[in-house]
Amino acid sequence: MNTGDTAFVLVSAALVFIMTPGLAFFYGGLGRRKNVINNMMASVFILGLGIVLWFAFGYSLSFSGNSFGVIGGLSDVFLAGQGLDAPSPYAENLPFLVFVIFQMMFALITPAIITGAVAGRMKFKALFIFIAVWSFLVYYPLAHMVWGSGGLLGADGLGSIDFAGGNVVHISSGVSGLVLCLLLGKRQGYEHTSYRIHNVPFVVLGMALLWFGWFGFNAGSALGANALAGHAFMTTALATAAGLLSWMLIDVVRKRKPNLISSCTGVVVGLVAITPGAGFVPVWAAFIIGLSAGPVCYYGIILIKQKLKIDDALDAFGCHGIGGIWGGLMTGVFADPSINGASGLWFGNPSQFFAQIGGILASIAIAVVGTIICVYVTKAFTELRVSRRDELVGLDASQHGENAYPSFNGLD
């Protein structure tokens, strides 16, 4: 084991942790004033639930043993039987618990992304049950299939590559959010009420925390303080900057003015798109991936919200689902064998591109089927949606009995 690598991965884990509170600010600022507490609480409660579930069952089901390439085993339930100095079977340079901690942070941010799709209308009790069940039926199996030893979609199976979570984190959460918001229905007055963002500084703060944490998200996935980590850091920075600039350019062309909220969205899209390929593609390709992800997601969101009238409230699918799919495909195009062994279409290996398509389609199918099952399980305990009155009053008051701004008495 290596003390430098251990320190680096622990710091990276802390950076990934801060992404979930960052998402709380991002979603809290994007929503309506009467729902800001509910939007933020949707991320905060996952910090508690996600850590407990990961300790109890999540790590074991994701990374311990293998059953048909679909799910892990129960040998590490409650992290039993592992000594303090035991090395991780996935990274011999790291102690067992350090790898557990790093992966635990991914299990927190992923379900939190889903909550943006259903903001403003889902009962908190239903959301709590749904996230718990979803972790077992979607996240843990998919993490095993992509990253686990013997996984059906990863190196031991289909051969799809996903450096830091394009399939596992972004496609799974984005697609699940889309399915859930379709089953839940639109917010009251969705087609007749203009979209109002209540706190732009919250959005900027959330974006900054997400970008900051994402360096640990991607660079830390090298699982060591090494050249690959530096490469992933640089590709992450460049793709994100390109995503920001491309989104600004679209706004200037379409609306004649750059928009701060849109620019923050462009940052998130750039981050999402580079995630699967951060440790596989060359630096110049990261620029192309980020630059192209801007218009792909920009017009994808327009298609979803304006043309199809789907109420993806805070663009969870528009940013994470579409961005994750695009990033996964571009990884299959630009993966450079001199960086991390994988060779993409650009470097003469079309089979990797088709493996990426297969991995993406499988991830979508798992997310769709798993989400539908989770909805039915949740409905056995409670209704999914708040009442019409509670929605109009606001979920801060109806679900939590709180007001983010005590001097404010309106419903906006």
- Domain boundaries, given as residue ranges, for the chain: 3-400
pLDDT of 262 strictly over 90 = yes
**Whole-number pLDDT of residue 305:** 87
Cα-Cα-Cα-Cα dihedral sign, residues 35, 370, 311, 298: positive
Average pLDDT value for the chain: 95
User: What does the pLDDT average to over 164-193?
Assistant: 91
| Token couple for 73 | 């085993």
pLDDT of 369 strictly over 60 = yes
For residues 281 and 326, what is the distance between their CA atoms, to the nearest angstrom? 14
pLDDT of 223 strictly over 80 = yes
Residues 13-28 have pLDDT tens digits of: 999 999 999 999 999 9
**Whole-number pLDDT of residue 85:** 84
pLDDT of 238 strictly over 70 = yes
Query: DSSP state, 186?
Result: P
pLDDT of 341 strictly over 70 = yes
Residues 48-90 have pLDDT tens digits of: 999 999 999 999 999 999 999 999 999 999 998 777 789 999 9
- The pLDDT-based confidence of 196 (bands split at 50, 70, 90) is confident
Q: Which amino acid is at 365?
A: A
pLDDT of 193 strictly over 60 = no
Q: At what angle do helices 260-274 and 283-302 cross, to 10 degrees?
A: 130
- Is-contact 286 235, C-beta < 8 A? yes
pLDDT of 259 strictly over 60 = yes
The rounded Cα 351 to chain-centroid distance in angstroms is: 27
**Whole-number pLDDT of residue 306:** 85
Cα-Cα-Cα-Cα dihedral sign, residues 323, 326, 329, 333: negative
Q: In the chain, pLDDT over 90 holds for what percent of residues?
A: 92
**Whole-number pLDDT of residue 52:** 98
pLDDT of 115 strictly over 60 = yes
The contacts of residue 7 (CB under 8 Å, 6+ apart) are 225
- The pLDDT-based confidence of 389 (bands split at 50, 70, 90) is very high
The pTM score is 0.96
The contacts of residue 325 (CB under 8 Å, 6+ apart) are 171, 360
**Whole-number pLDDT of residue 25:** 98
Q: Tell me the backbone φ, ψ of residue 191, rounded to 5 degrees.
A: -85, -5
Tell the residue number behind the tokens 């994100």, with chain if given: 240
The rounded Cα 386 to chain-centroid distance in angstroms is: 25
pLDDT of 407 strictly over 70 = no
Beta bridge partners of 67: 71
**Whole-number pLDDT of residue 81:** 72
- Per DSSP, the three-state class of 94 is strand
- The pLDDT-based confidence of 197 (bands split at 50, 70, 90) is confident
Q: Which CATH number is 3-400's, of 3.40.640.10, 1.10.3430.10, 3.30.1360.120, 2.40.30.10? A: 1.10.3430.10
- Is-contact 253 139, C-beta < 8 A? no
pLDDT of 165 strictly over 60 = yes
- The pLDDT-based confidence of 406 (bands split at 50, 70, 90) is confident
**Whole-number pLDDT of residue 411:** 52
A 10 A CB-CB count for 204 gives: 18
pLDDT of 311 strictly over 60 = yes
**Whole-number pLDDT of residue 1:** 87
**Whole-number pLDDT of residue 202:** 97
For residues 275 and 256, what is the distance between their CA atoms, to the nearest angstrom? 31
Ramachandran sector of residue 130 (left: φ over 0; alpha: ψ -120 to 50; beta: rest): alpha
Burial class (CB in 10 A: 0-12, 13-18, 19+), 368: middle
A 10 A CB-CB count for 306 gives: 9
Q: Tell me the backbone φ, ψ of residue 225, rounded to 5 degrees.
A: -85, 85
**Whole-number pLDDT of residue 348:** 96
